[in-house]
Amino acid sequence: MKIERHLPKVRDLAPLLHFATPEFNARKRRLEKALTIYDLRKIAQRRTPKAAFDYTEGAAEAEISLARARQAFEDIQFNPSILRDVSVVDTTSTVLGGTVALPFGIAPTGFTRMMQSEGEIAGASAAAAAGIPFSLSTMGTTAIEDVKAANPDGRNWFQLYMWKDRDRSMALVDRAAKAGFDTLLVTVDVPVAGARLRDKRNGFSIPPQLTLGTVVNAIPRPEWWINFLTTEPLAFASLDRWSGTVAELLDTMFDPTVTFEDLAWIKDQWPGKVVVKGVQNLDDAKKIATMGIDGIVLSNHGGRQLDRAPIPFHLLPDVAREVGSDLEVHLDTGIMSGADIVAAIALGADFTLVGRAYLYGLMAGGREGVDRMIQILGDQIARTMRLLGVTSLEELTPAHVTQLERLAPRALGGAARTAPRPSTSPKSSPPKGGPRKSPVAG
């Protein structure tokens, strides 16, 4: 049958001719095109000098821990329920005694103004607007009081590295308490600095050294250098100035003698909530649960300390089941999407922290970039919940997630020679104990 053709009339074309209003703000234009955290990462890499970007991007030694942590989130299967009314979803929850609008907060990050000149002020103000906690690192580059001013009514957490100079460490803790920070994150996985080879190869130092290589690398990134050279000199939440490499600074500061007794002493000095960050096995989690600590963060420091460290997401089901009724279980390392966060909550996490995702947003567009990062993760969380058939975080259970096996421990001794190959079939994670989450039928 022959198709009849005719020239289109103007009135037929008119409904099709809708042109988007041009966006003349270059920052807004590029951020609107970012649909994932990986998109923000690409923008950040284009706009940030190599040494600063690699400080964010890199991990310890061969960077195996970071790669495994990210792979663990990819190696899951979601198990949705259908025919549920998911027209409205609630992403709020109660964390450490306060309400949060989303199940993630901004993790403590060091040298933040080195990544982008707005630094912690951008992160704290974006967190305030979104209703999520902001964490200031001991190695942060904005004063405690200035972060409080940027987030006066929100949740501010202070992350503590116990230094060899303990009086100086506790002076920071006292400042944070007086400024109204509500939670102390005690990081316990840094007795010494990890071997961050990218930083060594880049000669990453504070402040940046102007070499021929850095000058050449700066040519396509003039905005970063203009901002760096025309804003306040880099200073720290914890010290005024440092001239040397990052590794030298960390090794000067970190105290390898800190023990559980020191943790108990620190807890007694702090009036608010105390969370221990850097827990990497079940036995340590159990011991901390007997100390009256309010929460733990399962974390291998974003892969930046011990390479080949345990994968926090793999530890989560057992830890949540064993100690989840005694303290809150939080998680970081490897999170790059809202789906990752939903999977963590389903397997028993009370809360999550994002570090690199935050810095990618910051480097991509300052405060607006952090806002975009939060928006991307929030949209992904809500969409994943709807597709799973749940309307609140409380409805998420281990039944919604199957952890697929890729890495399985090898049997020890003679058993290794006779044992059959590990099964490649999916393995469901055990449910978290306690009444907080109830299963969803399906």
pLDDT in tens, 393-406: 999 999 999 999 88
Instruction: Quote the CA–CA distance of 145 and 122 in Å, as a whole number.
Output: 15
**Mean per-residue pLDDT, 368-390:** 98
Give the CATH number of the domain where residue 44 resides.
3.20.20.70
Among candidate residues 157, 87, 164, 165, the one with its CA nearest the CA of residue 123? 157
Element (H, E) at 156: strand 156-160
pLDDT in tens, 269-314: 999 999 999 999 999 999 999 999 999 999 999 999 999 999 999 9
Instruction: Quote the CA–CA distance of 152 and 154 in Å, as a whole number.
Output: 6
Instruction: Quote the CA–CA distance of 91 and 391 in Å, as a whole number.
Output: 8
pLDDT of residue 168: 82
Assigned domain for 192 exists: yes
| Cis status of the peptide bond prior to 422, with omega within 30 of 0 | no
Assigned domain for 431 exists: no
Total Cβ atoms within 10 A of residue 113? 24
pLDDT of residue 97: 95
pLDDT of residue 442: 37
Assigned domain for 368 exists: yes
Instruction: Quote the CA–CA distance of 49 and 365 in Å, as a whole number.
Output: 14
Alpha carbon of 393 to those of 100, 131, 277, 357, 363: distances in Å?
A: 12, 16, 23, 21, 30
Among candidate residues 305, 324, 316, the one with its CA nearest the CA of residue 343? 316
Name residue, tokens 């303990």.
166
Tokens in use for 90? 């609630």
pLDDT of residue 355: 96
pLDDT in tens, 113-129: 989 999 999 999 999 99
Task: Tell whether the model's pLDDT for residue 104 goes beyond 70.
Answer: yes
Angle between helix 64-74 and helix 312-323 axes, rounded to 10 deg: 70
pLDDT of residue 336: 98
Assigned domain for 244 exists: yes
Q: Who has greater pLDDT, 29 or 352?
A: 352
Which range marks the domain in which residue 352 is found?
A: 29-398
Task: Tell whether the model's pLDDT for residue 426 goes beyond 70.
Answer: no
pLDDT of residue 238: 59
Angle between helix 338-346 and helix 312-323 axes, rounded to 10 deg: 30
Task: Specify the DSSP class assigned to residue 254.
Answer: B
Instruction: Quote the CA–CA distance of 52 and 402 in Å, as a whole number.
Output: 37
Assigned domain for 403 exists: no
Task: Give catalytic status of residue 301 as yes or no.
Answer: yes
Q: How far apart are the first and last CA of the chain?
A: 50
pLDDT in tens, 45-95: 999 998 889 999 999 999 999 999 999 999 999 999 999 999 999 999 999
Catalytic residue among 301, 314, 330, 400: 301
Total Cβ atoms within 10 A of residue 200? 12
pLDDT of residue 413: 60
Assigned domain for 5 exists: no
State the average pLDDT for the chain. 87
Q: Who has greater pLDDT, 253 or 139?
A: 139
pLDDT of residue 202: 81
What percent of the chain lies above the pLDDT cut of 90? 64
- For residue 225, name the pLDDT band (cuts at 50, 70, 90): confident
- Strand pairing report for 134-136 and 156-160: parallel
- Strand pairing report for 244-245 and 205-206: antiparallel
pTM (2 d.p.) = 0.87
Element (H, E) at 386: helix 356-388
pLDDT of residue 419: 44
**Mean per-residue pLDDT, 403-415:** 73
Element (H, E) at 202: helix 197-202
Instruction: Quote the CA–CA distance of 398 and 371 in Å, as a whole number.
Output: 30
Give me the number of domains the chain comprises.
Answer: 1
Instruction: Quote the CA–CA distance of 247 and 249 in Å, as a whole number.
Output: 5
Assigned domain for 292 exists: yes
Lowest mean pLDDT among 24-28, 243-247, 298-302, 334-338: 243-247
What percent of the chain lies above the pLDDT cut of 70? 86
pLDDT of residue 440: 37
pLDDT in tens, 158-213: 999 888 878 888 889 999 999 999 999 999 998 888 888 888 888 776 666 666 67
Assigned domain for 119 exists: yes
pLDDT of residue 21: 76
Task: Tell whether the model's pLDDT for residue 148 goes beyond 50.
Answer: yes
Q: Which residues, 6 or more positions from 174, have their beta carbon under 8 angstroms from its beta carbon? A: 269
Q: Who has greater pLDDT, 246 or 14?
A: 14
pLDDT of residue 201: 85
| Strand, coil or helix: 335 | coil
